Every structure is written in structure tokens, then in C-alpha cells.
Amino acid sequence: MTGDSDHIVAETAARIFADLADPRTVNRSEDAAWKGPLWTALAETGLPLAWVPEERGGSGATIADGFSVLAAAGRFALVVPLAETLTAGWLLAQAGLDAPPGPMTLAPARPHDRIAIGADGRIDGRATGVPFASDADHLAVLAEGSRGAEIALVRRNDCRIEAGRDLAGDARGCVVFEGVAPMFRAPAPDGLDRSGLMLMGAVVRAVQTAGALEAVLAMSVAYANERVAFEKPIGKFQAVQQNLARLAGEVAAAVAVSGSAADTLAQGGVTGDAAFLEAASAKIRCAEAAAEGSAIAHQVFGAIGFTKEHALHRYTLRMLSWRDDFGDENYWAAELGRRIARRGADEFWPLVASR
Amino acid sequence: MSVSLRFDPIRLPSECEALRADVRAFLAEEIAAGTFDPHRPGHGDSHNREFSRRIGAKGWIGMTWPKQYGGQERSYLERYVVTEEFRVANAPVRLHFVADRQSGPVLLKYAPEHIKADILPRICRGELCFAIGMSEPGSGSDLFAAKTKASKVDGGWRINGSKIWTSNAHIADYMLGLFRTSPPTKENRRHGLTQFLVDMKSPGITVNPIYQMTGQHDFNEVVFDDVFVPDDHAMGEIDGAWKQATSELAYERSGPERFLETFYVLTELIRALGPEPDIRSAEGLGRLAAQLHTLRRMSVSVAGMLQAGREPVVEGSIVKDLGTIWEQKLPNRVRELAAFLTPETGNRATLEEQLAFAITVAPKLTIQGGTTEILRGIIARGLGLR
């Protein structure tokens, strides 16, 4: 993993996003016709299966590369299941399974949804809040059986989808498995359980959120410098400057904690106390930054930022919605707090200092 | 777009862990010997001359400085580890801390050779205390309004006027202060201030204590009555002090002491909650831990950028802004989370005593070393808004 490859992969992704998924252009389009060419371009570069080894049908990029693509996707408030396909591919790869072409999503996407796999290999259960459930061709599933966790690839059409929408209007549904026979399945490797999957998903969402916040900050500063009121740009008023400085603080926190968590997973995977502290903190702090940051950005933009026509909501509603996926900040905070309490007071500082 | 905030995921290099173990062992011995009580911040003196000398003997003061001046030529990241371990232990480091963090680096950069050779090794040995002479009765956050005057005389300067809120002045051997050597110009109101090294034993200096609302005595009024300062004690350009601040400010503002000032109440809360806290406490604790981890990762990242020779002024200001607000709110948050503890909770008295102290200290945290408002102005400038 070198800094250079990191740049090249993320820059390729950013170029495609800028050409085919510019948030302002997308926001004006009446239909979803732009999604086809975007997905085709992404698929041609191998980005959706970046976390799948080449011999399993993917493009074999590093974990760090994949996260840098997701940060770029966040900067464009991307609305195709790229993050989901990447993470589904990662999950399949953990069990040595091949990844199919086409968009995927994954289940479970919420920490309390348990999906069962029977001795006959059939899958039962309900996964709520699955992002892009109705847009995906396949699902990567982590199911729990008598022999422990298994990872399986399932056709979307073999499941029942109760379609819904999230805050941002993106497809997010409940996936019902009723005796579904997977296309392939394999035991999950040691240490990868539902909690490990949530942890990976949490960092994915944190990285996307940080990217979105970076874009929101840039938009807000640019607007404050050009919008004139009381005969000067509003960015010249101290009250507005203080708000934007607070926004910068939230963005900085999100960038730092998500980057640190992504680096941790890239170096050492999803198991262990360090990964837990990093991932949980990233999800918690990025969710807080999403709430605080979107409120400030909307305040800067005033009424125009509250319109459908303006692209700001493409970022703010998506960040707010991402808070709910793979464990919300309240879930992770309670889990992290319990762990810290179990370790005891005198082990708290050593844990913090270990990172 | 000029908006790009950078916080690379810097990790402390492996040599830091051996160092950390050494520091913890040293602190454990000092605590066992009764030098200070880590559970009772605010009790006992915040400075201790013998303790500072023992720290100096360990090579933990001025540790990034060149060996020829008594330093160890170790990295900023190693210094970071030492600083955070002392801070978390509530160790009384006030005597040498300002010299180590700020004054020494200024001398390294601007002092003539013979002064460096004289003073820096003594700082490293833990023998010297420095004060920073910035604020005046009519000039606080607005540094460039300083009026206390240094007038040119034969062989040096004569200082008249006063400084205020000067921490350590009553125990300091030296002050690094900003004094007016020329009036500001129309084009540049920051022009005309010069930084001087002042020997606090100089005739004409009076230090008057100002007691704080905590009952402690940190800061002072320092009155200068025709105090002579020799020419070679001017640090840097005459009238040009405003050009000299940037990287030192980034370092001053982003260290672990900018978010760990009230940390002890969080540790004590964990002790009070026990191994199986209820959901409200667990969730609250987890959030605080996530926020703390985030601040520390930001702060380490800035230390890494400084080590790499960059000047992350905006990033450093952000760390102080977020960090001081966090450490200021922390005691109140801990108080909320501790509100429903049973009366028989073992360490309740300790926690309450700590909270009382932390809540009293809290207001100053967002004022000292650059107020929240000033920091946000700097951040806004970095964003391209002013």
C-alpha cells in the first residue's frame, strides 16, 4: 500500500464522479437515467469490486485504496450502491467466495438483526434498513448457524423486499429471507462475526460522512464569500465566521477520526480492542459531526439551501441518513461504554494512549 | 478552493512505547514517594523545584532540542508521549512546562549563541521557570494593542508599564514578553512590538499576586519601573515580533494539555460506574470516549505534521478550539452521568471533590492561550473568509 496508488485510485474515482455524478447536475435531472452510464464507468475501472481479489473476480485493491474511493464518493454524495458493493465484496472475500458482477448490497445492516442459516443451508430472517435493497442484483449475507457464522451470496430475487426510502430518498428496505437457498456459502473466518461486519460498515459510513462534510464545508465557505447582504459578503460577518469555524472543527474531527479508523482496519482488520475503539469512535463522532455540520451549513445558506433545487440537501440528508446504518451512534456509544467499564478505570487511559 | 483540512493518521513510532513505560514507572515511583497525589488535582503546589530537576535528569525537558544545548534530539512525538503521561497523572510540572513548550523554542530560534548556551541547558535540567508576558490591563486577546514600552537607551532598553494575568511570574526566573518599541504604522497595526527576554531578578520589577476563583495563585500583575534589558536580549527583529509567532502557536495550541486538563473526572467516573453500568451511563461514557479518542488522534496528527516540518496553524487552532470546549464541558457531563449513582458508591467522595475542582477550573480553559473567539477568527482566516 503506497501513498501513490492511494492517490491514483481515488483520483480515478473522483474523475468519474465529477463527469457522471456531479451533485448539481444529478439534482436537476428528472429521472435516474444518469445512473446507468455511471455504474458502467465504475464497473469498467473495477472500483465496485476493489476489495475482491483478482482471482475472485475483483480488482484487488488495498483496503486503504477502497476507503479513499469512499471518501471521494462522500465528497460527491454519490447515490449508487458503490459503498455497499465494495463492502459486500469485502465480506464475500473474507470467506474466499467469488463476487458476481453488478450492484450488491449486504445484510444484516443493523446490529440487532439476526439472520439464521439452517443445517440444510437455507437462510431465514429479516434484515431491516438494508441500503439499496431493491437496486442490488445480489446480497452478501452473514448468517448464523449451529456451526457459527457463515457468509453467503444470495440473489436479490430470491428474497422478499419490503421497499422503503431513507431520509435522502434513497432505496433502503427490509429484506425478508424465507428459506432462501444461497448461490454459494462458506464459513466466516475466525473472528468475523456480526459485530465485525457492523464495525466494517461503520467505518465505511464514517469515511463517506467525512467526505460529504468536506464538500459541505467547501460549498459553505464559497457561498459565504459570494453572497452579499448588508453590503458585504456574509462571510465577512463575525457571527458567520464563527459558525463556519465551528463547521470546520466538525469536519476536521470527522476527517481525523474516520481516517484513523480506516487506517486501523487497513493495517489490522476488524478484530481487537483497537479496531473496536477506532471504528466505534469514528461512527459516533462522524454522526455527531453530520448533525452539527449540516445544521451549520443550512444556517449559512439560509432559504436557498432548503430548496429542492439546491444540491446542499443531497449531502446533508445523506449524512444524516448514514448515521442509522451499521449501528447508529447511540448503539456504538453504549457498546463502547460497556467495554470501557468492563476493562475498568485504570485501563481506560492505556486504551486511549494505545492509538 | 482553499479549504483543505489535513489530519493524516499518524501513529506514535514504536520507540515511544518504551519511553511511555519509563515515564509511567517514574511517575509511579514519585507517587509512591508522596511527591504528588494523582487523584487530588488542585491540592498541593502545581510546581515543585526538586521534582522538575528529577524530570530534567531523566532527559524529559527540552527533549527535542539539540544536544549541544542539553537537549536529546528526540522527536516531537516522543515529547508528546511524555507530555500526555505527565498531564494524565496530574503531575506538578508547572515550573518547567512553559519553558519546555514555548520559551525554549523561541530562544533556540532567536537568541544569540551565548544566551542559548547559558539558558537552554538550565531549562533542560529543570532549573528554570519561564513566564510569558503578553496581556496587559488594556490588551488581552488584542495582543497588538500592547502599550508597555521598551525605550532605547545606551546598550539596551528601559521597560516601563505592566503585564497582567501572567502565569508563573511569582516563581519565574525569566519572562519572554512583548513590548512596544515603536508606534504602530497606519499600514500595519501589528508593527512596533519586539520580543524581549527579561531576567525577573532585574531591579524595578514588582510582581503582585492575583488570586483566582479556585483559590489558587497562578497569575500575577508584573509592574516594570525603568527595568533595563540589554540589547542582546531582544529576541528576533526589532518592531517585527508579529512575524515570529506561527509554528510555535501551532505547537502551543495542539498539545495534549489542550484537552486533558479535566480528564481525571472521566477516569473517576468509570471507577464509580463499575463494570456494569446502566444503559444511560454506558452510552454517555462511550460518547465521551469517542470524542476524546478523536481529539487525541487530531492532536497526534498535528504533532506529526510539526515533526515533518509543516506549520499546521489552522489544524492546531481547531484542536485547541474543540479540545478546550470538550474539557470545559466534561465535568458537567460527568456530573450528569454520575447523578444517579448509589450513595454507597466507593469513590463517590473522591469524584465529588474532583468535580468541584474541575467545575471551578473550567471557565479558564477556553480563555488561556488564545480564546475560543480568537481561535475561530484564525480558523476563519485559514478558510479564506478574512
Q: Which residues of B18-44 are buried (b: 16+ CB within 10 A; e: fewer)?
A: ebbebbbebbeebbeeebbeebebbee
Cell triple for residue A101? 458482477
The one-letter amino acid at B359: I
Contact B3 A253 (CB under 8 A): no
In terms of Cα–Cα distance, which of A56, A179, A49 is closest to A123? Answer: A179
Distances (CA, A) of A242 to A231, A345, B48, B321: 19, 37, 40, 11
Contact A217 B298 (CB under 8 A): no
- Per the prediction, chain A carries an average pLDDT of 96
State the pLDDT at residue B2.
52
Closest residue in chain A to residue B11, using alpha carbons only: A355
The Cα B265–Cα B288 span in angstroms is: 12
For residues A304 and A333, the answer to whether their CB atoms sit within 8 Å is no
**Mutate which of B317, B379, B381 to disrupt the A interface (most A C-beta within 10 Å)?**
B379
Out of A263, A336, A353, closest to residue B84 by CB:
A353
Task: Classify strands B174-180 and B205-209 as parallel, antiparallel or unpaired.
Answer: unpaired
Q: Which residues of A309-329 are buried (b: 16+ CB within 10 A; e: fewer)?
A: ebbbbbbbbbbbbbbbbbbbb
- Residue A308 is classified by DSSP as S
State the pLDDT at residue A5.
59
Q: Is the ipTM of this complex over 0.90?
A: yes
State the pLDDT at residue B346.
86
The Cα B182–Cα A32 span in angstroms is: 67
Rounded to an integer, the average pLDDT of B189-203 is 96
Residues 6+ apart with CB under 8 A from A158: A180, A181
Q: Which residues of A touch B276 (CB under 8 A)?
A: 338, 341-342
Rounded to an integer, the average pLDDT of A128-148 is 96
State the pLDDT at residue A244.
98
CATH 1.20.140.10 fits B246-383, yes or no: yes
State the pLDDT at residue B138.
86
What one-character-per-residue DSSP string does A241-257 give?
HHHHHHHHHHHHHHHHH
Cell triple for residue B66? 539539540
CB atoms within 10 A of CB B371: 16
State the pLDDT at residue A2.
40
Out of A246, A259, A337, closest to residue B284 by CB:
A337
State the pLDDT at residue B161.
98
Q: Where are the domains of chain A?
A: 3-187, 194-353
Contact B279 A281 (CB under 8 A): no
Q: What is the largest CA-CA distance in chain B?
A: 72
Residue pLDDT, tens place only, B343-371:
888 899 999 999 999 999 999 999 998 89
Per DSSP (E only), the strands in chain A are 104-107, 115-117, 123-131, 138-145, 148-155, 160-162, 172-180, 184-187, 228-229, 232-233
The residues that bridge with A117 in the sheet, in sequence order, are A123
Residue A1 has pLDDT above 50, yes or no: no
Higher pLDDT, B142 or B336: B336
Residue A317 has pLDDT above 60, yes or no: yes
The Cα B262–Cα B72 span in angstroms is: 30
Which of B52-66, B232-246, B362-376 is least confident? B232-246
The residues that bridge with A174 in the sheet, in sequence order, are A162
Out of A253, A284, A355, closest to residue B322 by CB:
A253
The Cα B1–Cα A219 span in angstroms is: 9
Contact A348 B267 (CB under 8 A): yes
Contact A334 B276 (CB under 8 A): no
State the pLDDT at residue A320.
98
State the pLDDT at residue B250.
67
Which of the listed CATH numbers 3.40.50.1980, 2.40.110.10, 3.20.20.140, 3.90.1150.10 matches domain B132-241?
2.40.110.10
Residue A340 has pLDDT above 70, yes or no: yes
User: A52 CA to chain B: closest CA distance, Å?
Assistant: 25
Q: Where are the domains of chain B?
A: 15-128, 132-241, 246-383
Contact A252 B7 (CB under 8 A): yes
State the pLDDT at residue B304.
94
State the pLDDT at residue B367.
94
Residue A7 has pLDDT above 50, yes or no: yes
State the pLDDT at residue A6.
59
The one-letter amino acid at A237: F
State the pLDDT at residue A151.
98
For residues A73 and A208, the answer to whether their CB atoms sit within 8 Å is yes
Q: Which residues of B touch A221 (CB under 8 A)?
A: 1, 3, 383-385
The Cα A89–Cα A265 span in angstroms is: 16
Higher pLDDT, B216 or B153: B153
For residues A319 and A212, the answer to whether their CB atoms sit within 8 Å is yes
Residue A3 has pLDDT above 50, yes or no: no
Rounded to an integer, the average pLDDT of A294-309 is 97
Rounded to an integer, the average pLDDT of A237-266 is 98
- Where does the pLDDT of residue B26 fall: very low under 50, low under 70, confident under 90, or very high at 90 and above? very high
Closest residue in chain A to residue B290, using alpha carbons only: A281
Q: Which long-range contacts (CB under 8 A, 24 or more apart) does A268-271 make?
A: A269/A191, A270/A191, A270/A192, A270/A196, A270/A197, A270/A199, A270/A200, A271/A191, A271/A192, A271/A196
Residue B137 has pLDDT above 80, yes or no: yes
Rounded to an integer, the average pLDDT of B316-322 is 96
* Domain formed by A194-353, architecture: Up-down Bundle (1.20)
Q: Which residues of B touch A288 (CB under 8 A)?
A: 287, 291
Residue A133 has pLDDT above 90, yes or no: yes
Q: Which residues of A touch B303 (CB under 8 A)?
A: none
- Per the prediction, chain B carries an average pLDDT of 94
Question: Virtual CA dihedral for A232, A235, A237, A243, nearest 10 degrees?
Answer: 160
Contact B286 A337 (CB under 8 A): yes
State the pLDDT at residue B245.
64
Residue B197 has pLDDT above 50, yes or no: yes
Which of the listed CATH numbers 3.40.1000.10, 3.40.50.261, 3.40.50.1820, 2.40.110.10 matches domain A3-187?
2.40.110.10
Q: Which residues of A touch B380 (CB under 8 A)?
A: 235, 241-242, 244-245
Residue B57 has pLDDT above 60, yes or no: yes
Contact A340 B285 (CB under 8 A): yes
The one-letter amino acid at B32: A
Higher pLDDT, A104 or A268: A104
CATH class of the B15-128 domain in this structure: mainly alpha
State the pLDDT at residue B246.
57
Contact B291 A352 (CB under 8 A): no
Task: Classify strands A138-145 and A104-107 as parallel, antiparallel or unpaired.
Answer: parallel
The residues that bridge with A138 in the sheet, in sequence order, are A104, A155
User: A273 CA to chain B: closest CA distance, Å?
Assistant: 13
In terms of Cα–Cα distance, which of A327, A211, A331 is closest to A259? Answer: A211
A12, HSE (Cβ side, Cα atoms, 13 Å): 17
State the pLDDT at residue A30.
85
Rounded to an integer, the average pLDDT of B5-20 is 94
Distances (CA, A) of B15 to A3, B22, B76, B281: 24, 11, 12, 36
Contact B318 A248 (CB under 8 A): yes
State the pLDDT at residue B193.
95
What one-character-per-residue DSSP string does A318-351 give?
HHHHHTTTTS-HHHHHHHHHHHHHHH-GGGHHHH
Residue pLDDT, tens place only, B111-136:
999 999 999 999 999 999 999 999 99
For residues A139 and A117, the answer to whether their CB atoms sit within 8 Å is no
**Mutate which of A228, A285, A347 to disrupt the B interface (most B C-beta within 10 Å)?**
A285
User: B274 CA to chain A: closest CA distance, Å?
Assistant: 6
